[in-house]
Amino acid sequence: MKNFLFILLFYFIAATAVAQYCDCISTTIDEKDETETKSGTTKSNDAYSLLFQKEKQYSNSSKKPVFYISLTANSRSFLSSTLTNNKVKIELQLKDKSKIVFEKAKSIFNPVARGFSVTFGATITKEQLQIILLNPIVTFSAFGVVKTSFKEKKQREQQIIVNCLLSEDW
């Protein structure tokens, strides 16, 4: 009887942990174009938001999902207008010292209540996400102007988000 209760308790704890594992992922559905968007964010050391996103048309199961990565950098000072609405170079330095580079990423101006915000983003392949799953982002550099890093706890959060987006069945 004691073993049965222990096994029952173990299964309950395991089921609860798995259910909460991907609770950091938010989901939105656009009924007009039948697109489901799933995303998760984590913060850098500078409190910038790193977003991983997955879009899938649920009406067309043969179409592969599209993945995005972006970093929203807030500044109290006005950054140069040449930084916004341009093609930029993004460099991700990973934990194993390797790099992923996006040559034609976008930078978008985002006005916010206090200061100025620029989002740097690009589409990312499933294979690149699998690399990040094994070796999370240590440093995110956009353009040589915005550079931020991630502590080990935030690197683990990246891995959880990426794992949830990759492993989810559509």
- pLDDT tens across 79-112, in order? 555 556 678 899 999 999 999 999 999 988 766 6
Mean pLDDT, range 73-78, rounded to an integer: 66
Cα–Cα distance list, 22 to 27, 40, 72, 130, 137 (Å): 11, 9, 22, 17, 19
Q: Would you kindly state where each structural domain of the chain is located, as residue ranges?
A: 2-167
Mean pLDDT, range 141-166, rounded to an integer: 93
Write down the pTM of the prediction: 0.81
Q: Is the CB of residue 94 less than 8 Å from the CB of residue 137?
A: yes
Q: How much is the mean pLDDT over the chain?
A: 83
pLDDT bin (cut points 50, 70, 90) of residue 170 is very low
pLDDT tens-digit series, residues 24-44: 899 888 888 889 999 999 999
